Amino acid sequence: MNLNYAIFRSEPIYTTKDLAQIGSHNKREKKAYNSNPDIKIELSKNNIDLVPLTEKYVKGFYNLTEEYKKEHDERMKTERPDRKRTFTEMINTSKNVIADELLFTASNDFFKNMTNDDIKEWANTCMEFVYNDLGYTKNQVLHATIHMDEETPHIHCVVVPLVKKYDKRTNSERYTISKKQYIKDKIHLSELQDKYHARLVSKGYDLERGIKGSDREHLSIKEFKKVNRILEQKINIRNDRLDKVMDDFNEKMKTTKNTIIDKDYVKVRKDTFESMNNVIKETEKIIEMQPKINSALQEINNYTDSYNLLQKDNQKYQKEIESLKYKNEKLEQENRSLKNYIDFVLSKIKQFFRNMLEKGTEIIKSLTCDEVKNYYFNDRFDKNDVYDVSRGTSKEDELFEYANIPNYLKEYEDKSNKKEKKKDDFDLSL
């Protein structure tokens, strides 16, 4: 007997351009789909809208986020000119999710002998999961449709996770788009897939829970090797760039022993600060790569496990599996090394900030304090980092309060400071 699997996936959407392309596909706005021969455009009239959208996806998105835009535009009125951005610029350059596409389907045999009403009833159960288990409201659903014009019926449900969250910097609630409010991480996604399966079974559907972690079931071993190779190249490139900017910065620091301070400014050689900025930029680029690397590693691990299970009796694939494991282990080693390098560079940045808080003018201290808050707000620093940077400085109280650092640590620090020896300068040498 063939087993039928319940399938639920989540695909993030990052820009309005991507959203427009997905909308064109989901609403079948093209006359032909040469890249996808499975789509039979003559059957598209049978597609069923669960949550209709008469306009384009992007226009629907802007209508849904109208209050968010008003709030953003009002905030920009008091923003510095060099930091002003339109709402569209903000959402397209933030590198954050602006919408999420939820896909629901099952094995092809599950739909055999089903009428349209039967499929719609299954689809309604899927939408119950969206509302009751994921927690989205109907106002957050941009569009949901059942595609009946492909071999296997499936649902595309595009949601905009628009929420109001407390902002520490302004001490107020502000609109934001946060997928993590609904799907925190891959572990949480797996738990939600369990709930999805349980909901379907409770309604009498004879479906198995899909293989955990097998979100991409159509990738071949060859394609996974390509993913490994690309990631290796990117890591090597980033390592080389970080090495170069660190070497350049260390050379500049050798010739920049002191700063010149007047009433309003701290004057440091321009090329030294540019070098420091280059180090920070390259570090942030590597940090931004980490979720992709971790995701790929997890996906490769899961795929290897699933592939081993399904093909254990087929010996001709064993060499391919071993090769994939070797590539994966190598990538994990390089990733660990890269993480250690990131930690090292961040420690130097912490030293730099601390030096500015200890020795800078009040203007420099205030600017540095804001930058530390920004690092904490964007998860570059944690509470311990803020503690290390600010302890014993004039900005200690402000930063301790911002990061919610317990008072007992401050009391402990007051005692420790009496024993601590002062350092003349900080060392950025490797």
pLDDT, tens digit, 9 for 90 and up, residues 305-353: 555 545 544 554 566 677 777 778 888 887 788 778 777 888 888 888 8
Whether domain 5-209 has CATH 3.60.15.10: no
For 104, counting Cβ atoms within 10 Å of its Cβ (0-12 exposed, 13-18 middle, 19+ buried), the class is buried
Helix axes 362-377, 318-359, angle to 10 degrees: 160
E-state strands within 247-349: 260-261, 266-267
Q: Over the chain, what is the mean pLDDT? A: 78
Q: How many helices (H) does the chain have, and how many strands (E)?
A: 13, 10
Flag the least confident range among 29-33, 349-353, 364-368.
Answer: 29-33
Is 0.95 surpassed by the pTM of this model? Answer: no
pLDDT of residue 217: 42
85 Cβ partners below 8 Å, 6+ apart? Answer: 76, 93
Flag the least confident range among 274-283, 295-304, 418-427.
Answer: 418-427
| Cα separation, 145 vs 196, whole angstroms | 18
pLDDT, tens digit, 9 for 90 and up, residues 102-160: 999 988 888 988 999 999 999 999 999 999 999 999 999 999 999 998 888 999 999 99
For 279, counting Cβ atoms within 10 Å of its Cβ (0-12 exposed, 13-18 middle, 19+ buried), the class is buried
Give me the mean pLDDT over the 212-241 stretch: 58
Q: Report whether pLDDT(1) > 50.
A: no
| Cα separation, 161 vs 140, whole angstroms | 6
> Radius of gyration of the chain from Cα atoms?
26
Q: Report whether pLDDT(378) > 60.
A: yes
N-terminal to C-terminal alpha carbon distance within the chain? 63
pLDDT, tens digit, 9 for 90 and up, residues 407-422: 666 655 555 554 454 4
pLDDT of residue 232: 65
The larger pLDDT score, comparing residue 33 to residue 327, is at 327
Task: State the span(s) of the chain assigned CATH 3.30.930.30.
Answer: 5-209
